[in-house]
Structure 1
Amino acid sequence: MIAKFFQPGGALEKAIPGFQARQPQIDMAEAVGRAIQHQQQLVVEAGTGTGKTFAYLVPALIKGHKTIISTGSKNLQEQLFYRDLPLMTQALGYTGKVALLKGRSNYLCLDRLSRQITESHGGFVDPGMLSQLVTIRSWSSATKTGDISECDSIAEDSPVIPTITSTNDNCLGRECPSFEDCFVVKARRKAMDADVVVVNHHLFMADLAIKETGFGELIPEADVFIFDEAHQIPDIASQYFGQSLSSRQVQDLAKDITIGYRTEARDMRQLEKTADRLSQAASDMRLVMGEPGFRGNWREAVNSPAIQRELTRLNDALDLAHDVLKLALGRSELLDAAFERTTLLKARLTRLCDTSITGYSYWYECTPRHFTLHITPLSVAEKFHEQIEKQKGAWIFTSATLAVDEDFSHFSHRLGLQPAEQMSLTSPFDYEQQALLCVPRFLPEPNSYGLAAKLVTLMAPVIEANQGRCFFLCTSHQMVRDLAEGFRACLDLPVLVQGETSKQKLLSEYLELGNALLIATGAFWEGIDVRGQALSCVIIDKLPFTAPDDPLLKARIEDCRLRGGDPFAQVQIPDAVITLKQGVGRLIRDQQDKGVLVICDNRLVTRPYGAVFLRSLPPIPRTRDVDGVGQFLSGLHAEQQAADSQHSEA
């Protein structure tokens, strides 16, 4: 029944120009159909190019159940909602309602905008912020959704955005004077009424963990839950089933107390002093926490005299805020909400300081301006399994990277899944012809001194031969900086570096230049889709094992040991395999793509576990000869030039 939609002459071919049926796509669609019909769990690894989005949309739409589709990021969420779903609804003649639901921080808060504008008239806002507030106020009268990303004249990283959006902490709920016009409330009502709702993993997990007011009522009504980019779920679930406290939360609380004082309680001068003290305590605590980008063990850090001193000051500042706000109760909704938040933060800080409770990882991380303290459960399998049992229905998990050496147990165990069916669908790409994998000879050891300089010397000729068009994916920010310095000194090609501008700008610049080397880490290992010869070389500095001092990894290793397992084989290798598969997936995105993958890590061939990595990758021909890479790339360029000249003659 489902297969007919994909077959020649079927609904998809009629509606989508150039659509071609692929057997793996049909196999997946039928498996999704079975899982929906029998209300079962399904895990599907669908290689790049399988067409998994259509493979789950067709059965989800034709079965007609209430469906929630969760994606890995806001970008994917928008692509699904604005591009893929309209195509499918048109092709299938689907008449159900479809809704997009983002987290509340994506929507304009009318009450907070109004308060910010009122405060700005008192002369407390810089001219740049004031100009943006005026722009947003003008846009707010025209927008139907209140989604800030639709306001083109405001940059996505503008500092004005956190001041005019709400969080779970500072939302006034039904007490808000703008409640009936609230964009978050409208988006949630629309989602409640819809047949298909597109969310992202962070929002879904936040809801599952805390049953956030409003959205919490949406999930039980669904019959089908589909997770795209599902490999991200275990780590995101860990964040939401734990607890955290950040300096940003404390400083946002201080800002709201200040606004409440300036707009509604001018006679309570102690409110301003309280806010200043809170803000100062959070900033002072950040100063003693260490370097930006650092993740540390909170159990150890909390014993440091310097941190103990700042913790006492922060606790005292929260106590003072609690006492002063208590005196202001009933004066203002904003200050009443601030009192509740203060009570919550005080309790959370007390919990975070009691590191004797077992079964959790206690860790912290720092950005240049903020710190966050975290408590994360060692395993979320039990809690996630509980939620699935409560909800019932069909639960479908799919991604290009779920299996390790064709085994799904690493993924399924982390979420407590009991899938009725697990399947791995091979990519339709001809890797034998389209790609080459090189593990160069004479590589230095992965963590040896001067590694970056040696990689620059080894890889510069390859990058030059390819005329740029290369991603160099690194496993650390330090390696990104070291390689950037080395390549800028020896290459005449443009060298773009993650961190020097936003991810989107960096990618746009890379595509515009056409001959650049882009050096990046983290965010560029997945979710980046560069097709054609714009990217024909991907180099990876080493196997992406998580740093052994990472507190989350330590927690999972501890949990594995407690269960009598082998942490290296059951935690560290599977994590690294899945990350490597994501990085490798950047190279071949299309049936016409061709390119070279270079992994600069001898362990692939010298360590027994190297075979697990190689067996988990697509079947790409391998070489250890860097000169062979140059020849392969030269062949690609010759093909490209011939194609270009034929095109120009035509």
Structure 2
Amino acid sequence: MIDQEDVAALLGTEGPFARELPNFAPRAAQQSMARAVQHAITERETLIAEAGTGTGKTFAYLVPALLSGERVIVSTGTKALQDQLYFRDLPRVRSVLDARLKMALLKGRSNYLCLYRLDQTVREGATFDRTQASQLATIRTWSARTRRGDRAELAEVPEESPLWPRVTSTPENCLGVECPFYDDCHVIKARREAQEADLVVVNHHLLFADLALKQEGFGEILPGASAFILDEAHQIPELAGQFFSQSISARQLTDLAQDSLSECNGVTGAIGLVLEPVEAMQDAVRRLRLAMDALPERGPFHQLEAKREIGDALHDLREVLAALTDVLASQAERSRGFANAHERAALISERLDRIAERDSERDVRWYELFPRGFALHATPLDLAAPLRAMREQTQAAWIYTSATLSVSSSFDHFARQLGLEDPQTLQVESPFDYAKQALCYLPSGLPDPSARDYTDRVIEAVLPVLHASHGRAFLLFTSHRALRRAAELLQERVPWPLFVQGSAPRHRLLEEFRHSGHGVLLGAASFWEGVDVAGEALSVVVIDKLPFASPDDPVLQARLEALEQSGINPFMGWQVPSAVIALKQGAGRLIRDVHDRGVLVLCDPRLTTKGYGRLFLNSLPAMPRTKELANVQAFFDDEVSAPA
């Protein structure tokens, strides 16, 4: 066990990282975070650590984690960050520390090739179009050489290819120990490695799925750890809501129908029994979706119950699902696949009954519509209780870190959402010199964001900034409608390449944006975070409005009502703090490196006309602010005239 001073010294000027890693810059902020993490692991405490961009927080938690002698789970926000941590950051830290520890990477089941389903797909000989046939051939060739079976290895087959769901498994359709390929199963191998490792890198989706399942008595994928370190922890409240929800979707129902039919292939006489209830269920799903057509995209459950046609369609779906469950029960002993389909049908049927009937004060029941499907949910109103129970069960240290957890230097909002009572907290500033590297421009004369022509006016205000910077900009929008309107307006008016979210996969848009040198990228929600473009390719970030959560979110509405009843002002107690954290994420795209320079354009006039605007501005890194376009132009003129 190493003491706190030594942890800091390792990352200091005389330490091994400074000696062995080129471009490593010792940072006081990184050292103090490493001390705090080390203390939390030793004392099994809860720590909230906000580390500004450029702190080097990954090393700040990996060094004490690897030296702790404890079993540690590190969880990240995305699979891309998970891969970066496992394949790039961990090997460096491990090598410098000469730490002889077992490490493992574990992802959710859908990331691994399923040999049984690949074999089934090949045998079925379905008529694929040329692209899919070629992709299937590529997957087959790869399957013979891959050790991990991780989809991320195979960049040639796009992530959105419809083939992936056919050659990966779900908890519902996995055959478990009765699978003929069980001994070679990539999921089982990855889990075994994780169970034997000292440090396991997972993602939040997997961590919550596992901890939620463990609570329901299904056993755990991740054996008990002494410490959980959650990076990108600002995502946790929303993700926890998903994992403590009960949900069923049209997709689950149609997959069940499809798999039940496929299973008939090897079982004599089964098709005669299964076909009719399967077709009845597929028809009931279609009719329910059609009945919901006139509804808004999402809303509270009582909107379904208020329309007789929808109520009838929902009742019919429950009836035909129950009938299919009975038929599958009669075939369950004839094959492992039928037994599996019966278990799934019974589980979905029970969940559908629970969502449709249970009107508990603790849950918010709601629906959402997709172009060809729907989902029904029951989400807990208060996430603090299940999260607290989950943490108490582990008896471990819990460390939450991100660049965006505080609101005007207070962690109260984040702690309240997660049910954290009296946690240790640490806030370390970014080492970047925002006073010199950045400028915040608040264009004057913009109307209220509810004005019909608001997006047109924003583009008018932003065009001169884009001319001063010669493109090199991210334009971030709070709605897809505003994004589409902005793309229309800019199409004919800028000489630089435009990259619009939705026109290509995110990773490709970012790659092309970086290479263009002078591109303008328009993005909504998913571009506000986890996007890293260092250097001159990105010198302007524009944010059209304060990112308040959509008022039509039924879960949010119910939470706000509950806060009001408990005497808390829902606007200042929830909506503003959540929007501040989202704004900090968007603004964080601008300066990614000590050499970056750039202008943050915040268009929303409420920043200066409303009292709460100060909370937003005070939560951003300290940089000069201006309302004068001339100052923006001078900022970029300085860039041109600065000596190389």
- Could you tell me which of 70, 75, 80 is aligned with 2:80? 75
Residue 202 (str. 1) matches residue 205 (str. 2):
yes
Whole-angstrom CA distance in 1 between matches of 2:323 and 2:312: 17
Please state if 1:561 is matched with 2:572: no
The one-letter code matched in structure 1 to 2:355 is L
Amino acid at match of 2:512: E
Q: Partner of 2:360: helix, strand, or coil?
A: coil
After alignment, is 435-444 or 455-464 more displaced? Answer: 455-464
Are 1:379 and 1:559, in contact at CA under 8 Å, matched by a contact in 2?
A: no
Q: Is the contact between residue 260 and residue 341 of structure 2 (CA under 8 Å) also seen in structure 1? A: yes
Deviation at 1:216, TM superposition (A): 4.2
Between the aligned partners of 1:125 and 1:311, the Cα distance in structure 2 is 34
Q: Which amino acid aligns with 2:600?
A: L
Give the C-alpha shift of residue 215 in structure 1: 9.2
Match of 2:60 among 34, 55, 67: 55
Tell me how far apart the structure 2 counterparts of residues 215 and 535 of structure 1 sit (CA, whole Å).
47
Partners in 1 of 2:91 and 2:74 — Cα distance?
A: 15
1:501-559 deviation digits (Å, cap 9, x = unpaired): 11111111111212111111100000000001110000000100112221121122123
TM-score w.r.t. the length of structure 1 is 0.95
The reply to whether residue 181 of structure 1 matches residue 213 of structure 2 is no
Q: 1:306, CA displacement in angstroms?
A: 3.2
Distance 2:384 2:66 in 1: 30
Once residues 215 and 321 of structure 1 are traced to their aligned partners in structure 2, the CA distance between those partners, rounded to angstroms, is 25
Distance in 2 of aligned mates of 1:2 and 1:165? 42
Could you say which residue in structure 2 is the equivalent of 1:626?
Answer: 629
Q: After superposing the two structures, state which structure 1 stretch, 348-357 or 32-41, moved more.
A: 348-357
Further displaced range: 61-70 or 252-261: 252-261
Change (3 A) 1:636 1:367: farther
Q: Equivalent residue for 1:319?
A: 322
Counterpart amino acid of 1:519?
Answer: L
Q: How does 1:303-342 map to 2 (within 5 A)?
A: 303-342=306-345
Q: Residue 145 of structure 1 aligns with which residue?
A: 148
1:279 Cα deviation from its structure 2 partner: 3.0
CA distance in 2, matches of 1:213, 1:182: 25
Q: Distance in 2 between matches of 1:253 and 1:556?
A: 34
Question: CA 1:127–1:433 in 2, change beyond 3 Å: closer, same or farther?
Answer: closer
Amino acid in the other structure paired with 1:282: V
Q: CA deviation at 1:58?
A: 0.4
Gaps spanning 5+ residues in structure 1: where?
644-650
d(CA) in 2 for partners of 1:637, 1:371: 53
Compared CA separation, residues 612 and 550, structure 1 to 2 (3 A): same
AA aligned opposite 1:179 = Y
Q: Helix, strand or coil for the counterpart of 1:226?
A: strand
User: Given that residues 51 and 430 in structure 2 are in contact (C-alpha distance below 8 angstroms), is that contact kept between their aligned partners in structure 1?
Assistant: yes
TM-score (norm 2): 0.96
Aligned pair 1:41/2:49, yes or no?
Answer: no
1:647 corresponding residue in structure 2: none
Alignment correspondent of 1:485: 488
User: How many corresponding residue pairs?
Assistant: 639
The reply on whether 1:32 has 2:53 as its aligned counterpart is: no
* SS of residue matched to 1:283: helix
Displacement after TM superposition at 1:271 (Å):
2.2
Give the conservation status (yes or no) of the 8 Å contact 1:41–1:418.
no
Which residue is 2:16 aligned to? 11
Structure 1 window deviating more from structure 2 (480-489 vs 176-185): it is 176-185
Which of 451, 463, 469 is residue 466 of structure 1 equivalent to? Answer: 469
Structure 2 Cα separation of the partners of residues 165 and 293 of structure 1: 33
Of 126, 133, 151 in structure 1, the residue corresponding to residue 136 of structure 2 is 133
Deviations 1:421-456 (A, max 9, x none): 201101101111011111111011111011111122
Once the two structures are overlaid, the 10-residue window that deviates more, 133-142 or 544-553, is: 133-142
Q: 1:293 to 1:399 in 2, by over 3 A?
A: farther
Distance 1:155 1:189, change over 3 A: same
- Aligned-pair identity in percent equals 45
Q: Which residue of 2 aligns with 1:646?
A: none
| Inter-CA distance 566–179: structure 2 relative to 1 (3 Å threshold) | same
Note the C-alpha offset of 1:132: 2.8
Deviation of the 1:494 alpha carbon: 1.8
Find the counterpart in structure 2 of residue 226 from structure 1: 229
Q: Deviations over 1:334-355 (max 9, x none)?
A: 1111111111111111111125
Distance 1:636 1:371, change over 3 A: farther
| Counterparts of 2:21 and 2:276, CA distance in 1 | 63
Structure 2 residue aligned with 1:543, among 543, 546, 562?
Answer: 546
Moved more, 393-402 or 450-459: 450-459
The answer on whether the counterparts of 2:213 and 2:220 sit within 8 Å (CA) in structure 1 is no
Choose the corresponding residue for 1:519, options 511, 518, 522.
Answer: 522
Q: 1:290: how far off? A: 4.3
1:345 correspondence with 2:340: no
**1:340 & 1:224 partners in 2: Cα distance?**
35
Work out whether 1:593 is the aligned partner of 2:596.
yes
Deviations 1:74-115 (A, max 9, x none): 011000000000000000001010000000010111111122
- CA change 1:632–1:219 in 2 (3 A) is same
What do residues 222-279 of structure 1 show as CA deviations (whole Å, max 9, x unaligned)?
A: 1011000011111111111111111111111112112112344465234234333333
> Closer, same or farther in 2 for the Cα pair 1:626/1:302, shift >3 Å?
farther
Task: Pick one of 104, 112, 118 that aligns with 1:107.
Answer: 112
